Structure formats: C-alpha cells, structure tokens
Amino acid sequence: MTAAGLSLLLLSAFIHASWNYLSKKADGGVPFIWLFTAIAAVFYSPLAIGVILYEKPEIGLWQTVLIMASVFSHLAFFLVLQKGYSIGDLSLVYPIARGTGPLLTCALAVIIFHEKMTHVTLIGILLIVTSILFFTGGMKNLKEAGALIPILYGLAVGAIIAGYTILDKAAVSHFLIPPLLLDYFNTIGRLIILTPFAVKNWNGVRSEWKNHRLEAAGVGIFNSLAYILALSVLVFAPVSQVAPIREISILIGTIMGSVLLSEGFGRVRVIAAVLMVLGVISVAAG
C-alpha cells in the first residue's frame, strides 16, 4: 500500500464516519434514502458529465452488466441494513456486518483476483475484525436472547458488502470504469428504483426535507465522496488491503460519538482502538 493510497483511504474513512453520524442523527427510513440519493444525483451530475466528456470511457456490454449488478447490490445493502436496524440494535448488527464484510472480501479476492496475503496482512485483518467486536460489545450481545435474527441480518449485510466490493473492484480496475462514474450510475439506478415508492409516500419525503434536509445533503454528498475515494484506491491497490483499512471509519465514528454525542470512550474501546490502529498498520505494511 502506497502512502498516497493509505492517505486517501484514511480520508475516505473520516468522510464515511461523518455521513454515518449524520444518518444516525436523522434516523430516517426509505424516504430519507431517496432524498439523499436525489441530492447526490443533482450534485454529482456536472462532475459525471465532465468525466464522460474528458475521459470518454468505453461502456460496453460487460461494463453495463457490472454497473447493473453494482446498482442492485448497493440498493440491497441499504435496504437490508435498514431492516436489520429496525429489528436489532446498532451495536449488534453493525459490528457483525463490518466485521464479516472484510473477511469475506479478502477470501473472495484471493479466489477471484488471485491476490496473495502475507502473514502480516492476515494478522492485521484479524486485529481489525477483533477490534470491531470490542468496540461495540458484539461478543456480549451475541449471547443475548433474541439475537439470532439480527445476527443473520448482520451476516447478510456483510455478504453484500463483500459482493459489491469485488464487483466494483473488477469494474474500476479491470473494465476501467471511472470511479466517479461508477458511483454516479449507482446513484441514478437507486434513484430510479426508489422513485415509485417515494411518489407513493411523498408526505414522508416532504417530512424528511422539512426536518432533515441538511443531514440528507451531508449524507448525499459525503456518502458518494467517501466511496469514490475508496474506488480510486481500488484501481491500483489489492482489494484485500483496501477493504480492511476502510474499517478504521468505526474508530473515527466512535470518537465522533464520544465527543459529539457524549457516549464515552471506556477502557474496552481504548483497547479496541489500539488493536484497530495496529491492524491498519499491519495491513498497509503487508
């Protein structure tokens, strides 16, 4: 991992944590998803047009197939994650999803892209996954009654994360779809699919605009920007390194929660923070 690639991923992680903080603050449902998607479509349209005119990317059959697969997998991510949160705690679903996602991604990267992981990289990945469970009390929550269904949703989200990461890695590095354009196509696809629902529930959309338009704007802009930066690194870096390093956003998000929401930063989370930083260093060095 180059210093430039690592810097972009750390910036992406900070932006990712920021949009998750805004999304948590808004606590919105599908109308909120449609609203921030619509804002992102408007904001990134001039940039997408500029990329098309300047780079003139080739969008053939395989590129179209990958774009469509990416659109549906990202949409599934948002919908399944929302459903998981509706029946389970954030502190249970989120760590399982973010912990299993990188593990599955790295396994698929070895199988599909024939990437090789050193012992240092593997140790780093395990440190990051362990730190995620420590951060949110995942192991304790796993033992609680009624946790099975939320756990399954968390695992499903992790599988979807792995799936779209591998798809998007192929799209930007092997089929040369510009990262910004791939994310823009994702945004437009999600907007088209969700628009009929938004029309039927327009009162909900109006309510979200009235109460959470600033959060929607922040999520719409930052969500795409964070992923565009990650995709830019995927163009030249192994997905088995990019995927786990992105999880440092959990550390940043926890610090935001401690400072901005007064959630506290106890001894267990200090240990988790140390493990995550060591894990990121190991993966980057590996």
In this predicted structure, what is the pLDDT of residue 108? Answer: 83
Q: pLDDT digit of tens for each residue in the chain (286 aa)?
A: 688 888 999 899 889 888 877 887 777 788 999 999 999 999 999 999 999 999 999 899 999 999 999 999 998 988 888 778 777 666 567 667 777 777 788 778 888 888 777 788 788 778 877 776 676 555 565 566 566 787 788 889 889 988 999 999 999 999 999 999 999 999 999 999 999 999 999 999 999 999 999 999 999 999 999 999 999 999 988 887 887 788 777 777 667 766 665 655 566 666 776 777 777 777 766 6
In this predicted structure, what is the pLDDT of residue 41? Answer: 96
3-state secondary structure of 60: coil
In this predicted structure, what is the pLDDT of residue 257? Answer: 63
Q: Find the helix or strand (DSSP H, E) in which 211 lies.
A: helix 202-234
Return the residue matching tokens 């449902």: 29
In this predicted structure, what is the pLDDT of residue 17? Answer: 82
In this predicted structure, what is the pLDDT of residue 142? Answer: 57
Alpha helical stretches, state H, 113-178: 119-136, 138-142, 148-169
In this predicted structure, what is the pLDDT of residue 110? Answer: 80
* Joined tokens for residue 144: 């609680």
In this predicted structure, what is the pLDDT of residue 140? Answer: 60
In this predicted structure, what is the pLDDT of residue 284? Answer: 65
Residues 6+ apart with CB under 8 A from 30: 79, 82, 194, 197, 198, 201, 204
In this predicted structure, what is the pLDDT of residue 138? Answer: 55
* Joined tokens for residue 193: 């699919």
269 conformational bin, left if phi > 0, alpha if psi -120 to 50, beta if neither: alpha
pTM of structure? 0.81
Residues 6+ apart with CB under 8 A from 33: 78, 82, 190, 194
* Joined tokens for residue 249: 């956003």
Q: At what angle do helices 61-87 and 90-112 cross, to 10 degrees?
A: 150
In this predicted structure, what is the pLDDT of residue 214? Answer: 94
